[in-house]
Amino acid sequence: MKKFLIYKNPYKDKDETIKNKVVSCLLSLGAAVTDFDKYNGEYGDDLMTIVLGGDGTILQAIREADFSMGPVIGINLGTLGFLTEIETSNIENAMKALVEDKFTLEDRLLLEGKTAQSTVNALNDVVLTRFGGLRINSFNLYVNGLFLAQYFADGVIISTPTGSTGYNLSAGGPIASPASELIILTPICPHTLNHRSIILSSKDEVRIEIPASKDGGNQELEVSFDGSSKEIVKTGESVTVRCSDKKVCFAKLGKDSFLDILNRKMSEK
Exactly one of 13, 46, 55, 125 is catalytic; name it.
55
Report pLDDT digits (tens) over 152-196: 899 999 999 999 988 999 999 999 988 899 999 999 988 876 778
CB-CB neighbours of 170 under 10 Å:
11
Q: Would residue 55 show up in a list of annotated catalytic residues for this protein?
A: yes
Q: How far apart are CA 27 and CA 219, in angstroms?
A: 56
Report pLDDT digits (tens) over 68-110: 888 999 999 977 667 888 999 999 999 999 999 999 999 999 9
Q: Where in the chain is the domain with CATH 2.60.200.30?
A: 110-246
Instruction: Quote the mean pLDDT of the chain.
Output: 90
* Amino acid at site 9: N
Q: Beta strands 137-143 and 146-153: pairing type?
A: antiparallel
> What residues contact 69, with CB distance under 8 A and at least 6 apart?
5, 43, 47, 49, 61, 62, 248
Q: Which CATH architecture has domain 3-103+253-267?
A: 3-Layer(aba) Sandwich (3.40)
Look up the CATH superfamily of 110-246.
Probable inorganic polyphosphate/atp-NAD kinase; domain 2 (2.60.200.30)
Summarize the confidence of residues 22-30 as an average pLDDT.
96
Q: Where in the chain is the domain with CATH 3.40.50.10330?
A: 3-103+253-267
- If pLDDT is split at 50, 70 and 90, which confidence band does 250 have? very high
Report pLDDT digits (tens) over 10-25: 888 889 999 999 999 9
CA 130 to chain centre: 21
- 248 beta partners: 108
